[in-house]
Chains A and B, each alone.
Chain A
Amino acid sequence: EPEVTQTPSHQVTQMGQEVILRCVPISNHLYFYWYRQILGQKVEFLVSFYNNEISEKSEIFDDQFSVERPDGSNFTLKIRSTKLEDSAMYFCASSEKMGEFGYTFGSGTRLTVV
C-alpha cells in the first residue's frame, strides 16, 4: 500500500537553529499537509498546501514556519529559529482529493529542541 515517508524519524536540534523536516507524499496525491502533536496532546493542524501554495494555515503556523515543494516528490517544513516549545511530533499527510478518501499520514518526525 502506498505510504507517506518522513525523514528523519527523530531530530535533535539546539534552540535557535533552523530545521527542515522532509516528507515524500504519495505520488498521485495533490494535497499536502503538516500536523503537529506535542507530547500527550492532540494532533493539531498546521498548514495545507496545494498547487504550490498554502491553502490554509493555523495560528500556530507563524512566520517561523514555511513549507515548500522543491521538486516533484518532496514536501518540506522549515522552522527558521527553533524554540523549546517546538518540540513535538510532526506529521506529514497527503490526500488525492481535498478531504476525500481520507488523509494518509506519515509515521512522523520527532523533533526535540534542547
Chain B
Amino acid sequence: DTAVSQTPKYLVTQMGNDKSIKCEQNLGHDTMYWYKQDSKKFLKIMFSYNNKELIINETVPNRFSPKSPDKAHLNLHINSLELGDSAVYFCASSPSGGTYTDTQYFGPGTRLTVL
C-alpha cells in the first residue's frame, strides 16, 4: 500500500564504490523527483522526470545519474562515492506534468553513509 517506496532504507558503503537507490510509486503520478537532505536537514532538489523525460537537472556532479525505466520508477545511481555524498536521499512524485501547482509526495528516504 506504500505510495512512494525506496530501497534500501539504509546504505553504508566505502568511498569509491558505486551504488544505486531505487524508487517506485504506485500513485499513477507522471512526475518523479530526487532530493538530497544534508546533515543540517537542508533539502535540495536534484532531478525531476516527467514520463521518463528529464525536466530538472540541478547542479549535481555527473557522478549522479538518474534513470527512469518507466513513469512509476526513478532510480538514482551514484558512481565513485565520496564522503560528502553522505546524506538522506528522498524520492517524491506528483500527479501531473510537473507543474508548480502539484503537491509532491515523498518516500521514506534512504540514508546513505559513505565511510
Asked if A and B bind, the verdict is: no
